[in-house]
């Protein structure tokens, strides 16, 4: 049993809706704003697939948005893809530079009825096509992987009580039309967590499975070829405890799996023939529940949640392992409520970007999204600013959050020409011109806008729009 030592606990004292130059970013809209997956679309430019809630006029409903930001922690845009009772699951970058979004459609007239939906969009949020898969009724999509020719494969799990936890793989062409489907029903409940591309155009699927009368789960990894034929499937179990695999990464010709062994993280490295090369339990004095893994040169970076240092809730966790699965760095980030990391990626410049969910920075403990940019030692790359301000190197906006009836003030070292305010659905609500010169200030009146979250667009002297979140309370 490996025991984690040298823990460093860091509190992020940021107010929801407040941004500083650099990371971390805390972002929230309405009742929740949940990042599902984040991709670097070009060096230093990121897009995150996020589920959002909003008031539809008939109660709370859910939609899908893209949040764009850069490596300096500046939000560039919040793009609404749909508000059609569609929630987010996964995202992939295609070879043509566009994005595939895997989502779940909930039928408003039948709230317990759902099925998979896939969008193909540009990085500016333009919808190129949308494909609904209603013949997979009551299947919740899990993950997808895009191929070199922009065809793709995604998994979904049947949550009908008669067919509880039975998976299907759906392979589609570049237009989203189904080529083949493959059901995996082997007398077991099965739930897929991750789908990635393997070698020689194969696909790897990982998750957990158990027989109908077995109380404990086992982790599985499955390899299928380009026709959907199962090449092999390995089922891994541990004595008297449940094992659930959440992610996998390729290590040359081997596979490194990360999952949960009851309440702590477990890693197993296996060969193509299922030989155990290495394994590690992560935990000890701190409970770690890691869900996502990425390569960082000759190391492995993981994120999830952790607890054990006196804080009442879970905190977002970052763990760095060497090639021998020995712990090099452990960091916990968060506040007094529940926080967790959902995905981590390696950036083109060799840093780690973590996206996750937090309840710590909202007075109602609603779930918001957060993003952390870390260097290779696990230190946050950040320039924290005074709470309640939005500052970058050239523009300062305050107060933020803004009281109803007050005036939003802007100070800029560069000239600005106009402003626009959008709501979270992408509707322009207000606009105006700015008579501003360098090193001067301007005022934007709050014209009876209701409480909520907004995006302020400012046009600079360089002809570029810059975007800032604004909270009215």
Task: Report whether pLDDT(408) > 90.
Answer: no
Per-residue confidence (pLDDT) for residue 4, from 0 to 100: 32
Query: What average pLDDT does range 439-458 have in this prediction?
Result: 69
Query: What average pLDDT does range 432-448 have in this prediction?
Result: 64
Paired tokens of 202:
């194969």
Tens of pLDDT, residue by residue over 108-145, are 666 668 899 999 999 999 999 999 999 888 888 999 99
Which one has a higher pLDDT value, 349 or 18?
349
Hey, where are the domains in the chain? 8-374, 390-472
Tens of pLDDT, residue by residue over 106-117, are 876 666 688 999
Cβ atoms within 10 Å, residue 108: 12
Per-residue confidence (pLDDT) for residue 2, from 0 to 100: 34
As a whole number of angstroms, the distance between CA 376 and CA 300 comes to 10
Contact of 143 with 89, CB cutoff 8 Å: yes
Handedness of CA 403, 405, 406, 409 (dihedral sign): positive
Contact of 141 with 169, CB cutoff 8 Å: no
Task: Report whether pLDDT(342) > 90.
Answer: no
Based on C-alpha coordinates, what's the Rg of the chain?
Answer: 23
Task: Report whether pLDDT(92) > 50.
Answer: yes
As a whole number of angstroms, the distance between CA 257 and CA 220 comes to 10
Bridge partners of 100, per DSSP, are 92, 120
Task: Report whether pLDDT(435) > 60.
Answer: yes
Task: Report whether pLDDT(313) > 70.
Answer: no
Question: Among 79-83, 430-434, 453-457, where is mean pLDDT lowest?
Answer: 453-457
Write phi, then psi, for 162 (nearest 5 degrees): -75, -20
Tens of pLDDT, residue by residue over 23-67, are 445 555 555 677 889 999 999 899 999 887 766 566 667 788 898
Which one has a higher pLDDT value, 1 or 152?
152
Per-residue confidence (pLDDT) for residue 392, from 0 to 100: 39
Cβ atoms within 10 Å, residue 169: 21
With cut-offs at 50, 70 and 90, classify the pLDDT of residue 334. low
With cut-offs at 50, 70 and 90, classify the pLDDT of residue 10. very low
Tens of pLDDT, residue by residue over 166-183, are 788 999 999 999 999 988
Per-residue confidence (pLDDT) for residue 107, from 0 to 100: 78
Tens of pLDDT, residue by residue over 193-230, are 899 998 878 999 999 988 767 778 899 999 999 999 99
Task: Report whether pLDDT(100) > 80.
Answer: yes
Contact of 101 with 81, CB cutoff 8 Å: yes
Q: Average model confidence (pLDDT) for the chain?
A: 78
CA distances from residue 80 to 127, 425, 459 in whole angstroms, order as listed: 10, 6, 21
Bridge partners of 54, per DSSP, are 61
Largest pairwise CA distance in the chain = 73
As a whole number of angstroms, the distance between CA 435 and CA 359 comes to 40
Query: What average pLDDT does range 95-106 have in this prediction?
Result: 94
Cβ atoms within 10 Å, residue 465: 12
Per-residue confidence (pLDDT) for residue 310, from 0 to 100: 45
Q: What is the share, in percent, of the chain residues with pLDDT greater than 70? A: 72
Task: Report whether pLDDT(387) > 60.
Answer: no
As a whole number of angstroms, the distance between CA 472 and CA 470 comes to 7
Specify burial of residue 306 (Cβ count, 10 A radius: 0-12, 13-18, 19+): buried
Which one has a higher pLDDT value, 128 or 319?
128
Which one has a higher pLDDT value, 18 or 363?
363
* CATH superfamily, region 8-374: TolB, C-terminal domain (2.120.10.30)
As a whole number of angstroms, the distance between CA 409 and CA 387 comes to 16
As a whole number of angstroms, the distance between CA 281 and CA 260 comes to 9
Paired tokens of 342:
């959902």
Handedness of CA 133, 136, 142, 148 (dihedral sign): negative
Q: Which CATH number fits domain 390-472: 3.30.70.980, 2.60.120.620, 2.40.160.50, 2.60.40.1930?
A: 2.60.40.1930
Q: How far is CA 171 from the centre of its chain?
A: 23
């Amino acid at each position: 049993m490996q025991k984690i030592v040298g823990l460093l606990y860091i509190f992020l004292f940021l107010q929801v809706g407040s941004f500083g130059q650099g990371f971390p970013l805390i972002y929230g809209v309405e009742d929740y704003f949940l990042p599902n997956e984040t991709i670097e679309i070009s060096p230093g430019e990121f897009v995150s697939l996020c589920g959002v809630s909003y008031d539809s006029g008939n109660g709370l409903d859910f939609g899908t948005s893209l949040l764009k930001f850069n490596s300096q922690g500046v939000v560039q845009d919040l793009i609404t893809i749909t508000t059609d009772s569609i929630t987010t699951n996964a995202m992939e970058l295609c070879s043509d530079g566009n994005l595939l979004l895997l989502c779940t459609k909930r039928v408003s007239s039948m709230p317990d009825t759902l099925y998979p939906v896939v969008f193909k969009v540009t990085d500016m949020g333009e919808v190129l096509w949308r494909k609904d898969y209603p013949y997979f009724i009551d299947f919740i999509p899990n993950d997808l992987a895009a191929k070199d020719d922009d065809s793709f494969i995604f998994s979904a799990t049947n949550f009908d009580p008669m067919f509880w936890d039975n998976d299907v793989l759906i392979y589609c062409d570049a237009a989203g039309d189904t080529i083949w489907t493959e059901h995996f029903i082997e007398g077991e409940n099965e739930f897929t967590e991750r789908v990635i591309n393997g070698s020689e155009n194969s696909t790897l699927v990982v998750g957990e499975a158990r027989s109908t009368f077995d109380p404990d789960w086992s982790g599985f990894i499955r390899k299928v070829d380009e026709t959907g034929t199962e090449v092999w499937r390995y089922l891994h179990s541990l004595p008297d405890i449940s094992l659930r695999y959440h992610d996998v990464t390729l290590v040359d010709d081997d596979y490194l799996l990360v999952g949960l062994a009851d309440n702590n993280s477990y890693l197993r490295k296996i060969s193509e023939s299922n030989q155990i090369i290495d394994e590690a339990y992560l935990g000890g004095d701190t409970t770690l529940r890691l869900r996502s893994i990425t390569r960082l040169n000759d190391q492995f970076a993981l994120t999830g949640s952790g607890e054990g240092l006196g804080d009442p809730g879970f905190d977002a966790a970052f763990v760095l392992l060497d090639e021998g699965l020995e712990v090099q760095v452990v960091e916990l980030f968060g506040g007094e409520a529940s926080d967790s990391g959902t995905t981590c990626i390696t950036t083109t410049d060799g840093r780690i970007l973590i996206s996750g969910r937090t309840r710590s920075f909202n007075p109602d403990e609603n779930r918001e999204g957060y993003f952390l940019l870390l260097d290779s030692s696990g230190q946050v790359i950040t320039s924290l600013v005074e709470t309640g301000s939005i500052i970058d190197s050239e523009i300062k906006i305050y107060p933020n959050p803004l009281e109803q009836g007050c005036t939003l003030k802007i100070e800029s070292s560069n000239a600005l020409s106009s402003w626009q305010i959008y709501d979270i659905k992408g509707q322009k609500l207000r606009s105006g011109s700015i008579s501003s010169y360098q090193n001067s200030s301007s005022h934007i009146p709050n014209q009876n806008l209701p409480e909520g979250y907004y995006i302020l667009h400012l046009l600079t002297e360089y002809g570029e729009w810059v975007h800032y979140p604004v909270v009215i309370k």
